[in-house]
Amino acid sequence: MSEQVLQYLKTNRAYFLKRLFEFLEIPSISTDSNYKKDMEKAADFIVTYLQEIGFGSAEKQPTNNHPLVYGEYNGAGKDAPTVLFYGHYDVQPADPMELWHSNPFQPEIRDGRLYARGASDDKGQVFMHLAVFEAFLKTEGKLPVNVKVCIEGEEEIGSENLYNILQEHQEQFSADFAVISDSGMVAKNQPTILYGLKGFTGLEITVKGPDHDLHSGMYGGAIRNPIMALSHILSSMKNEEEFITVDGFYDDVEPLSSKERKMMAAAPTEDFAKSAGVNQTVSEKGYTPVEHTMGRPTFEVNGIFGGYQGEGTKTIIPSSATAKITCRLVPGQDPEIVQKLLEDHIYKVAPSGVEVHVEKEKLSAKAYKVEPDHPLIKKAAEAYSKAFQAETVYVRMGGSIPVVEWVEAIYGMPIVLLGFGTPEDRLHSPNESFPLDSFDKGMETIVYYWNSVGN
């Protein structure tokens, strides 16, 4: 019964790519207020599309910042389940622009991949759902499921407004389960059930030393160097065996079961070293890189700065140094507790002669995990396998999607992560892309899935 829907997608492929290009051409960068109009334009694109294909109620709902696109379809009837479909239309900034091989907002197809900012994260994946809705409605006249569409414009900046809206309008968003396509597969054309995501927390350390940069000859030997103090603090937090040396950090970590370690080992994961361009991987002692990225917490310094950064030499003791830190958390860990442990550690090890300030990241999230053998997950695995003609693997991933934790915490509904990205997509980096294979087989997967869960 999916035949004519799939045929419609095939017949109109050129048209769908054209519309997707239109969508990707809009620089919907949520973090930069210069793009406020483009954010509206991207939201309007989705509203118009939804209305054209039969979501008559689709509209932009204002928030304190960028609008939320919301629309309902109730034509599947009372016996059919209702799904909350979530995605986001905002993208990360494209800079550094000079590293792109083509304009990030002029999509280009090269070697079977579509290059554009947002091609994979998440405009490309959102659009696949729009196309599948259209294909069902234009051929069979109806969808197999009732749908609540929720496409936000603030995922890349923390989804703060969505969090409030989800809490305040629980009736509007309640559903039997949720489907989110904002993730990926472990390898191109390798159907992947993502049954866990990491949580997230962070903080910024600023070490203040002298009230102005000092001449290193006149003060060197009497005044603590803030960069050196910061280096001592940072190096006390993770050792060279990639073990996080902060008291209590691992206390609540849910251990990896041998069943999970087997599933992780079975997944044909990417060659991390090759795709990162390094000569070897590293990982926590006792765990493989795959186990560490999927199922063990991480600690990363995302940025550092202090003192003279220009060419050549400036012989100063700088007045301050700052480091930005984020952690990815696993089930069991509470972001606020972890944040407090990190903060306590920093103040405890801070050397004398400098002032240390910790600024805690406000947005954080717990990890998410669903049982791999939940019926809705099993059906997703079957749809994947049928479309991609391959056995589906089960993995957890190191990324965080805060909305997943919130939907689970507020609504208690099961969440199916139906992602089609690949490890080569370069999310958040120059030359983001999405394979056309994922575009075609992904839409096929979605068609099978709606049919399967609708019946």
The nearest distance, CB 17 to its own copies, in angstroms, is 26
CA–CA separation, 1 vs 396, rounded Å? 33
Asked if 429 is part of the footprint of its own copies (rule: CB under 8 A), the reply reads yes
- 28 Cβ neighbours under 8 A, 6+ residues apart: 35, 38, 39, 41, 42, 89, 90, 91, 118, 123, 153
Residue 133: strand, helix, or coil: helix
List 17, 109, 223, 410, residue binding its own copies (CB under 8 A): 223
Asked if 323 is part of the footprint of its own copies (rule: CB under 8 A), the reply reads yes
CA–CA separation, 334 vs 11, rounded Å? 49
Asked if 367 is part of the footprint of its own copies (rule: CB under 8 A), the reply reads no
Q: What is the DSSP letter of 254?
A: P
CA–CA separation, 192 vs 239, rounded Å? 33
- SS3 per-residue string spanning 188-232: CCECEEEEEECEEEEEEEEEECCCCCEEHHHHCCCCCCHHHHHHH
What is the residue-wise DSSP string for 62-83? --SSSPEEEEEE-TT-TTS-EE
List 107, 306, 335, 435, residue binding its own copies (CB under 8 A): 306
Asked if 284 is part of the footprint of its own copies (rule: CB under 8 A), the reply reads yes
Asked if 300 is part of the footprint of its own copies (rule: CB under 8 A), the reply reads yes
Place of tokens 């207020």: 33
Place of tokens 């400036």: 314
Residue 280: strand, helix, or coil: coil
List 242, 343, 382, 408, residue binding its own copies (CB under 8 A): 242
Q: Kindly indicate which of the ranges 68-76, 251-259, 391-399, 408-416 contains the residues binding its own copies, using the contact rule CB under 8 A.
A: 391-399
The nearest distance, CB 3 to its own copies, in angstroms, is 36
List 123, 198, 345, 386, residue binding its own copies (CB under 8 A): 198
List 57, 247, 308, 373, residue binding its own copies (CB under 8 A): 308
List 147, 397, 416, 418, residue binding its own copies (CB under 8 A): 397
Nearest to 269 by CA among 295, 291, 242: 291
The nearest distance, CB 380 to its own copies, in angstroms, is 21
Asked if 361 is part of the footprint of its own copies (rule: CB under 8 A), the reply reads yes
Asked if 293 is part of the footprint of its own copies (rule: CB under 8 A), the reply reads yes
List 27, 71, 191, 210, residue binding its own copies (CB under 8 A): 210
Asked if 292 is part of the footprint of its own copies (rule: CB under 8 A), the reply reads yes
Q: Kindly indicate which of the ranges 110-118, 303-311, 336-344, 408-416 contains the residues binding its own copies, using the contact rule CB under 8 A.
A: 303-311
Asked if 64 is part of the footprint of its own copies (rule: CB under 8 A), the reply reads no
CA–CA separation, 421 vs 126, rounded Å? 12
The overall longest dimension of the chain from CA atoms, in Å, is 82
List 10, 18, 101, 232, residue binding its own copies (CB under 8 A): 232
Nearer to its own copies, 218 or 266 (CB): 218
Write the binding mask 26 to 55 for its own copies: x where contact by CB under 8 A, - elsewhere: -----x------------------------
Touching its own copies, residues 66-105 (CB under 8 A): 99
Asked if 422 is part of the footprint of its own copies (rule: CB under 8 A), the reply reads no
Residues in the chain: 455
The nearest distance, CB 383 to its own copies, in angstroms, is 24
The nearest distance, CB 290 to its own copies, in angstroms, is 8
Touching its own copies, residues 113-172 (CB under 8 A): none
* DSSP H or E run through 39: helix 36-53
Nearest to 125 by CA among 97, 89, 155: 89
Q: Kindly indicate which of the ranges 5-13, 370-378, 405-413, 428-436 contains the residues binding its own copies, using the contact rule CB under 8 A.
A: 428-436
What is the residue-wise DSSP string for 339-408? HHHHHHHHHHHPPTTSEEEEEE-S--B--EE--TT-HHHHHHHHHHHHHHTS--EEEEES---HHHHHHH
